[in-house]
Amino acid sequence: MMRRRLIYHGRVQGVGFRYTVRSIARRHAVIGWVKNLPEGTVELVVEAEAAEMAGFLADVAARFEGHIDSTDDLSPGDEPLSGFSIRH
């Protein structure tokens, strides 16, 4: 299993990003969460096997092509995860 923590920059709030990411997550064997941040970015923490992670992140990138300007890959931490949720 691998875990990643990503911060998406661009036009990623007010476009259904979190709800669409949750929908994409339901089609993949991933766990984690997604959350809007005050500065207009979106934080994603996701855990999965490497191939499943790659497919999930590729689907997110494809769906929001033109909305995502850049992505920061940060230290993912080690909090326990289960399911996939939208955090507020």
Q: Which backbone phi and psi does 41 adopt, to 5 degrees?
A: -100, 175
Tell me what pLDDT residue 4 has. 98
CATH architecture of structural domain 2-87: 2-Layer Sandwich (3.30)
pTM of the model: 0.96
Residues tagged active-site:
18, 36
Count Cα atoms within 13 angstroms, Cβ side, for 87. Answer: 15
Whole-Å CA distances, 66 to 26, 45, 50, 55, 74: 23, 22, 25, 19, 22
Could you read off the pLDDT of 20-70 as tens digits, one per residue?
999 999 999 999 999 999 999 999 999 999 999 999 999 999 999 999 999
Determine the Cα–Cα distance for residues 56 and 59; give it in Å rounded to an integer. Answer: 5
Mean pLDDT of 72-87: 96
Residue ranges covered by each domain of the chain: 2-87
Confidence of residue 14 (pLDDT cuts 50, 70, 90): very high
Phi-psi group of 64: left, alpha or beta (phi > 0 → left; psi -120 to 50 → alpha; rest → beta): alpha
- DSSP code of residue 13: S
